[in-house]
Amino acid sequence: MPSSVNTVFIVEDDQSVRDALGLLLGLQGLAVALFADAESFLAARRADWYGCLLLDIRMPGMDGLSLQKRLAESGCLLPVIVMTGHGDVESARQAFRSDAVDFLEKPIDHDRLLAAITEAFARQHQRRDDHDRHASAAARLAGLTPREREVMALVVAGRHNREIAQALDISPRTVEVHKARLLAKLQVGSIADLVRLSLRVSGQAAG
């Protein structure tokens, strides 16, 4: 399945509901992929799948909220829309805590479903862009020399050139040279941008 095509991945154990949703979305010109349970979705899932997940809560085997939580913990970028025939406040709370786009009760309101899918696709695009920017920044950081990494750590910590020079036993002029190389290698235009990049990458790694 092409990673560049927005696809709605439907996980629903009721075949009549699954087929009806697939037909509805197909008539809207959307690509769809149908799964009868969480286990079959997990077995087929690829990291480059692009779009969103339309997920039923109550299914045999792994339930929908457990699948949503598992995907979130694994770093899956697919936004999730949760649907259920047995809505309750606690289920909705769990879904939204795991960053669900919407919580839809059956019978599904088609306009609300399409609006949720549109929002989910927008989230997917933003997440993919953020992921690509992070990967690019991490790759540039990996290209720094050990000394450049030392200088960067001290710059980000707010140390001045003279303090960095003393800490590393080099001249302030050499610190300036290293800082200029850092900015060039990391493709940033200022120390503020350098700090921002560092925080973004370290924050993503921690997350």
What DSSP string describes 81-142?
A: EEEESS--HHHHHHHHHTT-SEEEESSPPHHHHHHHHHHHHHHHHHHHHHHHHHHHHHHHHH
Which of 74-88, 117-131, 155-169, 188-202 has maximum average pLDDT? 155-169
The residues of the chain that CATH labels 1.10.10.10 are 143-206
Position 204 scores a pLDDT of 53
**Band of residue 207 on the pLDDT scale cut at 50, 70, 90:** very low
The two three-digit tokens of residue 2, written as one number: 């092409």
Tell me what pLDDT residue 1 has.
43
Q: Is the pLDDT of residue 29 over 90?
A: yes
| CATH number for domain 7-128, candidates 3.40.50.300, 3.40.800.20, 3.40.50.2300, 3.40.47.10 | 3.40.50.2300
Q: What percent of the chain has pLDDT over 70?
A: 95
List pLDDT tens digits, range 3-15: 567 899 999 999 9
Is the alpha carbon torsion for 37, 42, 46, 47 positive or negative?
Answer: positive
Residue 52: per-residue pLDDT: 94
Q: Tell me if the bond preceding 107 is cis, omega within 30° of 0.
A: yes
Strand order through the sheet with 102-105: 31-35, 7-11, 51-56, 80-84, 102-105
Tokens of 28: 């809207």
pLDDT digits (tens, 9 = 90+) for 126-174: 888 777 777 788 888 888 899 999 999 999 888 999 999 999 999 999 9
pLDDT of the residue at 4: 61
Tens of pLDDT, residues 94-103: 888 878 899 9
pLDDT at 196: 83
Going by DSSP bridges, is the β-strand pair 51-56/80-84 parallel, antiparallel, or unpaired? parallel
Q: Where exactly does CATH 3.40.50.2300 map onto the chain?
A: 7-128
Residue 2 confidence (pLDDT): 43
Which CATH code of 3.40.50.2020, 1.10.10.10, 2.40.50.100, 3.40.50.300 fits the domain covering 143-206?
Answer: 1.10.10.10
**Which pair of tokens denotes residue 78?**
């697919």
Percent over 90 (pLDDT), the chain: 50
